[in-house]
Chains A and B, each alone.
Chain A
Amino acid sequence: MSAAATQGSHSLAFRVMRLCKPSFQIANPLRVDPLDLFVGEDIFDDSAAAAQIPRLLQQNHLTKPSESDLTYRHRFELRNPSDAMGLSGLLMLPQSFGAIYLGETFCSYISINNSSSFEVRDITIKAEIQTEKQRILLLDTSKSPVETIRAGGRYDFIVEHDVKELGAHTLVCTALYNDGEGEKKYLPQFFKFIVANPLSVRTKVRAVKENTFLEACIENHTKSNLYMDQVEFEPTQNWSVKVLKADEHHSETNFKNREIFKPAVLIRAGGGTHNYLYQLISSTPGSTQVKIDGSNVLGKLQITWRTNLGEPGRLQTQQILGSPITHKEIELQIVEVPSVIVLERPFLVRINLTNQTDQKMGPFQVCLQGDPSEERAVMINGLQAVVLPQLEASSSTEFILNLIAIRLEVQKIAGIKVLDARDNKIYDTLPDLEIFVDSD
């Protein structure tokens, strides 16, 4: 409900100023050391000059300006050499509304001024944020209205709101008051702003052997550099996470200065990126992934950043998915392999065959298949095919395969497949396994 503003002039008016943190003023000071200005640069090669000149300066100038020094010499002379950096420590109020991003906190100074020449009474003030989806009340004095604002006076308040939605926002400030003539008036004022997305996160999930890695690339879409305070991956129940970082290449042996010299992770404004790498370790050994409709939920990224003077922002990504597992009907897995394998000596490998369907399957045939021209290093010893009987639904069986290695050193057990015994349809291939073949 937004009632119509009372027509005619108002005694009151809202003045609004966004109150994000101030910034350091950075100047190009144009201040010099007098020794660089009024003598030649090489004059101090002469030790007499080196003794004389500072003495002359001392006689003529106060070494430090005191309160009685009514000059602007501090705009001309350097007092401390690092003054030339132009960073005096003076803070400056935000000079414009600026951009506002999802995850930040909107803070504003609101001043309601009585610019008339009469006192205004019984002021009910409300401030709320309106978005497409909702209205959030920030301030409401209806239970205890402000009694009075004198002519030329003000009533101030500060509001804060954590920005959780994108797009158009309106700060609506309303005042219901009795003006100098006792007339009841209603003043709404609207201040619009747009909330944009500060970051985008791209993830890649890679499985390397039994390890799953998550690479997250964060891109900064804001107009300022973002100091990445924390970027944490929160895994789901089935996973635990380890952050992988490159070794620090700045070796600061001076321990007390470690924090001073630690490089900051700062993502450049307007398109800078930074990558993070995590290793995910399955916490349920054996079965590999949570099977949820063929999807594989790994977890979320929690991101906290800071801008200007430590102004914080935080966001969470949506659930990050690993590569979907194809639901296998029949699965072959190696259960046991001997620790020592010797060249040209047969060895036994124990294999598990699982029927993951809801029907009886089989009979099966397990054999070595593949490119006939390729000479395999590890072959089935004896009968080239093992026949296995039918398997009930959702059940498994183990069997032994007799293998022999005909080449030394690192080799692969590869190409072992399980087929349907009748129509030779291939159900599954045993994942390649590396072995080390010793000599006799």
Chain B
Amino acid sequence: MEVEHESKREDDDRETLTIDPLSNQFANLNDLCFEFTSLQDLAFRGSWRSILDKIARARKLSLLQKPHEDLIYLAYSVLALTKLHRYTEAAEELHSMPDFDSPRYRYESHPEIYPNRCGSMVPFAIRWLNAEIPLKLGRRQESLDRLYVLLDFVRVRLRERESRGSELGFCVDVWRKREAFVVYSIASHHLSNKEFVVCLELIQGLVRQDSANAELLSRLGYVQVQVGDLEGAKSTFGEVERLMKEGNLGENEFRNLVGRNKALIYLIGKDYVSAVREYDECIERDPTDVVAINNKALCLMYLRDLSDSIKVLESALERVPTFALNETIVVNLCSMYELAYVNHSEIKRTLSNWIARVAPDDFDSSSTRV
């Protein structure tokens, strides 16, 4: 709970006491933003429609008192609309902020609310969503252009902070993460468009900067596998394994990563039995490893065991629904149903009804093809 805490800073000669949640050790997240934990809770549950309702209510009743709160709610609104495929509305929300760099959105323009704070209060996600939206509206090139511009923007900020020295350590890390995030977004678009050579180059560039990132290296391996460069992939996965051993990344997360990579190599070589064995070890370590579960099911199918492959996926949906309920798993299961049953509509409909009850708002229900 909040505790009234008199500010003891030397330059405090203001008339009112400002409780700055960021320097108050007893503050909580709701001090940072109006009813933030409730927003977060809805987001975790995938209740994006409820989030939109909440935001609409807050705006209507003018419950948001500070400009940064408006921005955060705007960010959640755009994210929710995008997740619900309501792209035109998302674009309209963004239009209400014609210029992200306007002084309106800087702390120093509101010294009465944010004493001693300067900089942009725009959540970075807004800039990113602004870049992603055109593609959803069919304008792919515009999105790519905006993402590259955003990458420049991030790099300028990163250099500025790097040159300011060590007190900004955490801040520099955050901007570095943002830089990688934008490059990953660009790479994902190239991947969707099967522009694999560009994608490989982007990822290789990231690997040069961050060579100890096992997840990133594994993804490089996946692209190499997708493309058919099996020697390259084996080499990359070998590097991941070496990182794990040397770095003593003993956590299950990394053991499973290495295990899944091994399984993939077996799978490519058509040694489905060994792949299943590797996946089983992963599942035993972490029963929520849905990538292992899904891929194991596919291996069983390639081993002519359609019945068991269906069982594996059905059981995962039953056991760990919040992890397993994912569009790809549903598509795979429905493909298996179509093969296994002449009259598959009924069983697909049962699945579809269950999904309607359990799935988050942003789940793509067309994946059942019912």
Bound-state CA distance A48–B203 (Å) is 34
The listed residue (A17, A72, A92, A227) touching B322 by CB distance below 8 A is: A72
For B36, the chain A residues whose CB sits under 8 A away are: 38
Could you tell me if B120 and A76 are in contact, using CB atoms closer than 8 angstroms?
no
For A53, the chain B residues whose CB sits under 8 A away are: 22, 32
Task: Judge whether A168 is part of the interface by a CB distance below 8 angstroms.
Answer: no
Task: Judge whether A260 is part of the interface by a CB distance below 8 angstroms.
Answer: yes
For A261, the chain B residues whose CB sits under 8 A away are: 204
A338 nearest CB across to chain B (Å) = 53
For B225, the chain A residues whose CB sits under 8 A away are: 24, 309-310
For B331, the chain A residues whose CB sits under 8 A away are: 92-93, 95
Could you tell me if B291 and A71 are in contact, using CB atoms closer than 8 angstroms?
no
The interface on chain A, measured as residues whose beta carbon lies within 8 A of the other chain's beta carbons, has a size of: 98
For B267, the chain A residues whose CB sits under 8 A away are: 91, 309
For A29, the chain B residues whose CB sits under 8 A away are: 188
The listed residue (B184, B264, B360) touching A85 by CB distance below 8 A is: B184
A152 nearest CB across to chain B (Å) = 9
The listed residue (A78, A86, A260, A266) touching B197 by CB distance below 8 A is: A266
Closest to B336 in A: A93
Closest to B218 in A: A89
Please indicate which of the listed interface residues A34, A87, A157, A257 has the most CB atoms of chain B within 10 Å of its own CB. Answer: A87
Task: Judge whether A35 is part of the interface by a CB distance below 8 angstroms.
Answer: yes
Interface 9-residue window, one of A107-115, A195-203, A211-219, A432-440? A107-115
Could you tell me if A93 and B123 are in contact, using CB atoms closer than 8 angstroms?
no
Could you tell me if B342 and A48 are in contact, using CB atoms closer than 8 angstroms?
no
Fill in one digit per residue for B210-251: 1 if any A CB lies within 8 Å of its CB, else 0: 010101111110111111111110111001000000000000
Could you tell me if A81 and B184 are in contact, using CB atoms closer than 8 angstroms?
yes
A25 nearest CB across to chain B (Å) = 4
B310 nearest CB across to chain A (Å) = 11
Could you tell me if B290 and A90 are in contact, using CB atoms closer than 8 angstroms?
yes
Fill in one digit per residue for A352-390: 1 if any B CB lies within 8 Å of its CB, else 0: 000000000000000000000000000000000000000
Q: A91-B295, A109-B306 are in contact. Are A56 and B181 (CB under 8 A)?
A: no
Interface 9-residue window, one of B11-19, B39-47, B55-63, B348-356? B39-47
A316 nearest CB across to chain B (Å) = 19
Bound-state CA distance A26–B192 (Å) is 6
A319 nearest CB across to chain B (Å) = 28
Could you tell me if B161 and A45 are in contact, using CB atoms closer than 8 angstroms?
yes
Task: Judge whether A36 is part of the interface by a CB distance below 8 angstroms.
Answer: yes
The listed residue (A22, A88, A111, A225) touching B306 by CB distance below 8 A is: A111
Could you tell me if B120 and A41 are in contact, using CB atoms closer than 8 angstroms?
yes
Bound-state CA distance A27–B329 (Å) is 13
Could you tell me if A75 and B362 are in contact, using CB atoms closer than 8 angstroms?
yes
Task: Judge whether B75 is part of the interface by a CB distance below 8 angstroms.
Answer: yes
Could you tell me if A81 and B82 are in contact, using CB atoms closer than 8 angstroms?
no
Q: A32-B79, A89-B295 are in contact. Are A82 and B188 (CB under 8 A)?
A: no
Docked complex: A48-87 residues within 8 A CB-CB of B: 48-54, 56-57, 59-60, 64-65, 67, 69-76, 78, 80-87
Could you tell me if B219 and A82 are in contact, using CB atoms closer than 8 angstroms?
yes
Please indicate which of the listed interface residues A22, A38, A158, A307 has the most CB atoms of chain B within 10 Å of its own CB. Answer: A38
Closest to A71 in B: B44
Could you tell me if B215 and A45 are in contact, using CB atoms closer than 8 angstroms?
no
For B229, the chain A residues whose CB sits under 8 A away are: 227, 264, 306
Closest to B114 in A: A40
Docked complex: B330-361 residues within 8 A CB-CB of A: 331-332, 335-336, 338-343, 360
Bound-state CA distance A60–B44 (Å) is 13
Task: Judge whether B315 is part of the interface by a CB distance below 8 angstroms.
Answer: no
Q: A15-B340, A264-B200 are in contact. Are A45 and B239 (CB under 8 A)?
A: no
For B169, the chain A residues whose CB sits under 8 A away are: 50
Could you tell me if B328 and A92 are in contact, using CB atoms closer than 8 angstroms?
yes
Fill in one digit per residue for B265-285: 1 if any A CB lies within 8 Å of its CB, else 0: 001100000000000000000
Bound-state CA distance A49–B260 (Å) is 39
Task: Judge whether A47 is part of the interface by a CB distance below 8 angstroms.
Answer: yes
Closest to B199 in A: A85
Bound-state CA distance A259–B221 (Å) is 11
Bound-state CA distance A259–B238 (Å) is 11
Bound-state CA distance A405–B112 (Å) is 98
The listed residue (B127, B287, B329, B340) touching A154 by CB distance below 8 A is: B340
A177 nearest CB across to chain B (Å) = 15
A320 nearest CB across to chain B (Å) = 26
Bound-state CA distance A82–B212 (Å) is 13
Could you tell me if A306 and B228 are in contact, using CB atoms closer than 8 angstroms?
yes
A103 nearest CB across to chain B (Å) = 14
Bound-state CA distance A408–B97 (Å) is 80
Could you tell me if B288 and A67 are in contact, using CB atoms closer than 8 angstroms?
yes
Could you tell me if B223 and A87 are in contact, using CB atoms closer than 8 angstroms?
yes
A239 nearest CB across to chain B (Å) = 29
Bound-state CA distance A305–B192 (Å) is 22
Fill in one digit per residue for A246-273: 1 if any B CB lies within 8 Å of its CB, else 0: 0000000000110111111010010000
A125 nearest CB across to chain B (Å) = 14
Task: Judge whether A315 is part of the interface by a CB distance below 8 angstroms.
Answer: no
Task: Judge whether A409 is part of the interface by a CB distance below 8 angstroms.
Answer: no
B362 nearest CB across to chain A (Å) = 7
For B268, the chain A residues whose CB sits under 8 A away are: 21, 309-310
Fill in one digit per residue for A6-42: 1 if any B CB lies within 8 Å of its CB, else 0: 0000000101010101111111111011111111111
Task: Judge whether B187 is part of the interface by a CB distance below 8 angstroms.
Answer: yes
Task: Judge whether A308 is part of the interface by a CB distance below 8 angstroms.
Answer: yes
B200 nearest CB across to chain A (Å) = 7
A298 nearest CB across to chain B (Å) = 29
Bound-state CA distance A75–B216 (Å) is 19
A residues with a Cβ closer than 8 A to B are: 13, 15, 17, 19, 21-30, 32-54, 56-57, 59-60, 64-65, 67, 69-76, 78, 80-93, 95, 109, 111, 113, 115, 154, 156-158, 224-227, 229, 256-257, 259-264, 266, 269, 305-311
A-B contact pairs, 27 of them (CB 8 A): A21-B268, A26-B188, A36-B178, A37-B124, A38-B40, A41-B119, A44-B170, A50-B168, A52-B25, A60-B29, A64-B253, A69-B322, A72-B44, A72-B45, A72-B360, A73-B44, A82-B184, A84-B188, A87-B191, A90-B290, A92-B331, A93-B336, A95-B335, A109-B339, A113-B342, A158-B304, A264-B200
B residues with a Cβ closer than 8 A to A are: 21-23, 25, 27-29, 32-33, 36-37, 40, 43-46, 68, 71-72, 75-76, 79, 82-83, 107, 117-125, 127-128, 132, 161, 167-171, 174, 177-178, 180-181, 184-185, 187-189, 191-192, 194, 196-197, 200, 203-204, 207, 211, 213, 215-220, 222-232, 234-236, 239, 253, 260, 264, 267-268, 287-288, 290-291, 294-295, 298, 301-302, 304-307, 320, 322-323, 325-329, 331-332, 335-336, 338-343, 360, 362
- Nearest first, the 9 A-B pairs at minimum CB distance are A42-B119, A306-B228, A227-B228, A40-B121, A259-B235, A84-B184, A72-B46, A44-B171, A50-B170
Additional pairs, 13, CB under 8 Å, beyond known A90-B294, A95-B331 = A13-B342, A24-B226, A32-B79, A32-B125, A36-B128, A71-B44, A80-B215, A82-B184, A93-B332, A109-B304, A225-B196, A262-B232, A308-B226
